[in-house]
Amino acid sequence: MSSIFALVLTFAAAAPAGQVARPAIYEPSTRFEAAIRGQSSSPTFSDPLITTPIQAPSGAPYNPFVPNPGNSVGPGQDPFLNLAPGEMPSYASPYGQQPYAPGGMYGVNGPQPYRLGWTPRVDAGYIGTSTVKAPGAGKLEVVEYGASLQYVTQLNESIIFSTTPKFQGRLLEGPGSPSLPGSLYKLGWDIALETMPAADWSFRMAFDPSINTDFQQGLGGDAYNFDGELTAFYRASPEFMFVLGVLYWDRVDQFILPNAGVVWTPDDRWEVRLLFPKSRISYFLGNFWNGSHWLYTSGEFHVESYQIEVPGAVSRSEQVQFQDWRLMLGLRSDHPTYEKFLEVGAVIGREVEYRRGTPGFDISDGFIARAGIRY
């Protein structure tokens, strides 16, 4: 029996004319911390919405590579700062602690400001019915949903602090054997420190504790995950950024993974992120339909785990781990007051493993679709 679900999203109203919506501080144009953070702290809802909206005050789509005649926003400026015509922001440039110079821009995304203050996000996903392989039996279908509320602030002139309480849920139908709960939940809190780019280097340190359970029994040690990240970013040139770091994921298995690779931006339309555990290739489609749009393809390694109750003559507690690879094709769009994405693809290499003696099993490859919005 197929699951039917709906996601209802309401769009936030634009700030009144002349009112500062949020202050901003620029980060490197090829920054991909949200993708990696999504994988390490909330693997199912990796956030492909990397770019913060850069829009003219008039609401017209803003292209950072072409000046917008008729408004006060020049190339590289954040319109929410309400700068005077021709005035440049005195924040960090994409390549160092200096005012942004239009001639030095590279990359499909343009300058990306940190949005100080609150940013709500809502996401949903669906994994189609797939066959469970022996020693399991039956079929499995999954509906995913989640929400988060990020708060970002500047501690001093060189350090950005973010805190993100979040919630995610899973609705499972099947399999016939072994029995899995109909609902799974995750309550997490992502805490991160990031340095502003200086002398071509920047750094990120993050800690993400979470409670993962079906809430059928009292919480034990299997319900708690403690994830962490330490990553360095080196800007070798406008076209190349190198990444070297480590991730720790606390699941049934303890994963210590490289957080590494290279980001290549050969021109103003392409961006190639050859990274692990998530890679992505983006192509800038242009500004139309009151927004800026990107087509992308991505691949990621995904793992999550939960404490569950195993039914029987005497029910017992168990920890289950879901592991897979996800290959996606997506479209993301930046609009004056919100961002959205829609992606479809395949989930492959699916494995289910238990900590306390329940036999594990594999799941056949399946279809996956995800969508989300942030304000």
Torsion over CA: 127, 140, 355, 182 (sign): positive
Nearest of 349, 347, 352 to residue 369 by alpha carbon:
347
322 - beta bridge partners? 304, 352
Q: Which two tokens stand for residue 27?
A: 């980060």
How far apart CA 191 and CA 133 sit, in angstroms, is 38
pLDDT of the residue at 134? 87
Residues of the chain with pLDDT under 50: 1-111
Which residue ranges make up each domain of the chain? 24-374
Question: Which pLDDT belongs to residue 14?
Answer: 39
Residue 183 has a pLDDT of 95
Give dist(CA 180, CA 301) in Å, integer: 22
Tell me the sheet residues that pair with 373.
122, 340
Q: Report residue 246 as tokens.
A: 């480590």
What's the gap between Cα 10 and its chain centre?
A: 20
Residue type, 206: A
CA distance 10 to 184: 26
pLDDT tens, residue by residue, 278-336: 999 999 999 988 889 999 999 999 999 999 998 765 678 899 999 999 999 999 998 88
Q: At 216, which amino acid appears? A: Q
Query: What pLDDT does 21 receive?
Result: 41
The two structure tokens encoding residue 17: 């004319």
Please give the pLDDT value at position 113: 57
In sign, the C-alpha dihedral spanning 33, 303, 119, 107 is positive
State the pLDDT at residue 248.
97
Distance CA 29, CA 52 (A): 10
Q: What single DSSP character describes residue 27?
A: E
Tens of pLDDT, residues 211-223: 999 998 889 999 9
Q: Give the model's pLDDT for residue 84.
A: 43
Whole-angstrom distance, CA of residue 10 vs CA of residue 196:
33
Return the percentage of the chain with pLDDT > 90, whole number. 52
The Cβ of residue 230 has, within 10 Å, a number of other Cβ atoms equal to 15
Query: Which tokens in the block code for residue 228?
Result: 């962490």
